[in-house]
Amino acid sequence: MDLSAEKIVKNYTSLKGSRADFDNLYQKLHNYFYVESGNITEERNKGSQLHALLDSTSQDCADVLAAGLANYLTPESAKWLFLQHSNRELRDNPEVKQWMQEATEEVLWTLSRSNFYNQMPIFYKASGVYGTAALFCEKDENDGVRFYNIPIKKLYLTEDARERPAEFYLQFEYTAEQALSRFGEKCSQEIKDAYSSGRNDDKKFKFICYFGKRFDRDPDKKDNKNMPIRMVWVDEKSKQIMQESGFWSMPCVAHRFYKRSQIVYGYSPAMKALPFARMVNTITDTMLRAAMKQADPAVALPDDAFLGTPNFNPRAINYYQRGKLNPKDEIFPIGNFGNPHIAVEHLQFYQQQIRDTMFYNTFQAFSELTKQMTVPEVMERVNEKMTLLGPAVGRFMNDVLQPLIEKVVNILYEDNRLPRMPDVMAFDPTYEVKFVGRLVQSQRQSEVNNIINALTIAGQLQAINPEVVDKINTDEAVEEIFDITGVTTRILNSEAKVGEIREQRAQAQAQAQQMLNAQAAAQAYKTAAEGDKNVRDNQSEG
């Protein structure tokens, strides 16, 4: 049975209450790593000053992590995915290859036309800071598809038995005008009265948007209320369904940077770096105070005695008894002036801890290279750093990018924007999405290295036994390397072209061999003739 409005509100309230500890942690992460995002537990007026930090290392690292993931996983300026047929036999069919290439180009063009590349850096940063990020994808009449990031404050999840996101509970606040523009006459009388009174900005009304599996449906019907995925808007206060629709597949995707068993929400690099970020700001504050003491120290003024506790803050004034503390009764600096240089090493140590934890050096690897390094050594170092992101990259591909691309393909298919499918695919239109971004290639670089090492060893064994190379299918080796590295197969010749080239080479070699044989025969005839002549000459002389 599908959830009622009352049950949706009850589930949402329960999920919100059980996440209180996470929300408090999210607010701290916001203050140190993501100040431009919305607050989670604190309330601030629009336009008010963001949380001020004395050191920006934590914020810089979060920005570099988001930009690095965007540029190395889903770069706008490079091809980072391609489609191929699930059946390996059909995969090599020229018509199928051509269709997959054209479909891939249409998908990439649609993504570049939409707001995908604007939303993904925000998505990556939210995942790197809060550990959990969600993205909503829907059909758009103008751009084809549209993507929306869901703020962590408004996002609540449930999992299925396989620990995959099963239900999404999203909380939104609308003014009376916004609510009426979205839901019309279904709005409560309170909302209508608020709109009539003219109070449109000072009061917000809360609504819950629910996404989950639909149980009560007729598979033979194709309308919104019989689709497998259910979307419901509920008024949180009146517990009334305001709007209901559906999708063929889940329009929301969620990423957990680090996943722990039996815990719905993820953990992030920023959570690990939070103690270091606090320490860096504390050390910076101490260094600034020490520097201010040296630049503008506290002073002592003569009086009968010190009044209260001595104040050693910058520009503080302390009164002392005449003739005892200073016989000349003059004004002079007093107190511990501090030494800001002592804390520099500690500050640099904790800043480096933040960078290491937030993968800063992974995406700044080229800044650490030296001129003495060879190209293979450079690439090996870069790939080694990239592999540290392996688990998170795997979840980005499986939990986020794979379902998003499949949804985009379905939208394009429904709009007849894909090329005509070849007849050979009529009974098997399945496809696979392959990702070839720099991060993905780094995860598979070891496979290429293993193939090259194996071929190198085989080449060395050939000196001992030339027949050993008969075991190696070099054509398959080349195609496997191209598949792993993500290089387009357009630069590879077709099987027919390869056969033609090899046939021409064989004919040329045969002709060359015939010429060599003819030359050898001619030389042998010439040698024999000269031998006969010498014999005759010797006989005549005798």
* Contact criterion met (CB below 8 Å) for 54 and 285: yes
Edge-first strand listing for the sheet containing 165-174: 155-159, 165-174, 205-213, 229-235, 240-247
**Sorting pLDDT into bands at 50, 70 and 90, what band is 9?**
very high
- pLDDT for the residue 168: 95
DSSP secondary structure, 408-427, as one string: HHHHHHHTT-SPPPPGGGTT
What does the pLDDT average to over 98-119? 93
Q: Answer positive or negative: Cα dihedral of 498, 503, 506, 511.
A: negative
pLDDT tens digits for range 26-56: 999 999 999 888 889 887 666 555 667 889 9
* Contact criterion met (CB below 8 Å) for 246 and 230: yes
| 433 contact partners, CB below 8 Å, separation of at least 6 | 81, 83, 401, 402, 405, 406
Using the predicted structure, report yes or no on whether residue 490 has a pLDDT greater than 70.
no
Highest mean pLDDT among 3-7, 368-372, 510-514: 3-7
- pLDDT for the residue 443: 59
Helices (H), 331-432: 344-357, 360-363, 375-386, 390-395, 402-414
Q: Establish how many alpha carbons lie within 13 A of residue 150's alpha carbon, considering only the half-sphere containing its beta carbon.
A: 23
Q: How far is CA 415 from CA 2, 58, 139, 145, 410, in A?
A: 30, 44, 10, 11, 9
Q: Output the CA angle 294-298-300, nearest 5 degrees.
A: 135
- pLDDT for the residue 278: 94
- pLDDT for the residue 266: 94
- pLDDT for the residue 258: 92
Using the predicted structure, report yes or no on whether residue 445 has a pLDDT greater than 70.
no
- Cα 192 from Cα 200, distance rounded (Å): 11
Residue with the bigger pLDDT between 271 and 300: it is 271
- Cα 441 from Cα 353, distance rounded (Å): 27
- Cα 482 from Cα 266, distance rounded (Å): 35
- Cα 16 from Cα 416, distance rounded (Å): 42
- Cα 277 from Cα 289, distance rounded (Å): 19
- Cα 409 from Cα 415, distance rounded (Å): 10
- Cα 147 from Cα 170, distance rounded (Å): 15
pLDDT tens digits for range 365-408: 655 545 566 656 655 666 666 677 777 888 898 899 999 999 99
- pLDDT for the residue 466: 77
- Cα 209 from Cα 247, distance rounded (Å): 14
pLDDT tens digits for range 454-481: 777 777 777 787 777 777 777 777 776 6
Residue with the bigger pLDDT between 514 and 121: it is 121
Using the predicted structure, report yes or no on whether residue 78 has a pLDDT greater than 70.
yes
Helix (H, G, I), strand (E, B) or coil at 538: helix
- pLDDT for the residue 341: 77
**Sorting pLDDT into bands at 50, 70 and 90, what band is 504?**
confident
- Cα 40 from Cα 33, distance rounded (Å): 13
What does the pLDDT average to over 4-12? 93
- Cα 132 from Cα 152, distance rounded (Å): 7
Which residue, among 196, 150, 206, 132, has the nearest Cα to 173 in the 3D structure?
206
Mean pLDDT for the chain overall: 83
End-to-end CA distance of the chain: 123
- pLDDT for the residue 425: 87
Helices (H) and strands (E) in the chain, counts: 17, 13
What does the pLDDT average to over 108-125? 94
DSSP secondary structure, 204-264, as one string: -EEEEEEEEE--S--TT--SGGGSSEEEEEEETTTTEEEEEEEESS--EEEEESB--TT-S
Residue with the bigger pLDDT between 229 and 524: it is 229
- Cα 134 from Cα 152, distance rounded (Å): 8
**Sorting pLDDT into bands at 50, 70 and 90, what band is 446?**
low
Q: How far is CA 131 from CA 30, 123, 128, 411, 519, in A?
A: 12, 11, 6, 29, 77
* Contact criterion met (CB below 8 Å) for 76 and 119: no
Which range (84-98, 119-133, 169-183) has the least confidence?
84-98
pLDDT tens digits for range 208-252: 999 999 988 888 888 888 899 999 999 999 999 999 999 988 999
**Sorting pLDDT into bands at 50, 70 and 90, what band is 91?**
confident
Highest mean pLDDT among 170-179, 313-322, 507-516: 170-179
| 366 contact partners, CB below 8 Å, separation of at least 6 | 378, 382
Which residue, among 157, 170, 324, has the nearest Cα to 233 in the 3D structure?
170
What does the pLDDT average to over 420-435? 88
pLDDT tens digits for range 297-306: 777 665 555 5
| 28 contact partners, CB below 8 Å, separation of at least 6 | 274
- Cα 245 from Cα 230, distance rounded (Å): 6
Question: Residue 439: is it exposed, middle or buried by C-beta count within 10 angstroms (0-12/13-18/19+)?
Answer: buried
* Contact criterion met (CB below 8 Å) for 162 and 99: no
The pTM of the whole model exceeds 0.85: no
Token duo for residue 225: 């209320």
Residue with the bigger pLDDT between 467 and 265: it is 265
- pLDDT for the residue 453: 75
- pLDDT for the residue 33: 94
* Contact criterion met (CB below 8 Å) for 451 and 477: yes
Using the predicted structure, report yes or no on whether residue 194 has a pLDDT greater than 80.
yes
**Sorting pLDDT into bands at 50, 70 and 90, what band is 529?**
low
Using the predicted structure, report yes or no on whether residue 80 has a pLDDT greater than 70.
yes
Which range (47-61, 289-303, 341-355, 501-515) has the least confidence?
289-303
- pLDDT for the residue 503: 81
- pLDDT for the residue 143: 85
- pLDDT for the residue 441: 67
What does the pLDDT average to over 264-284? 94
| φ, ψ at 21 (rounded to 5°) | -65, -40
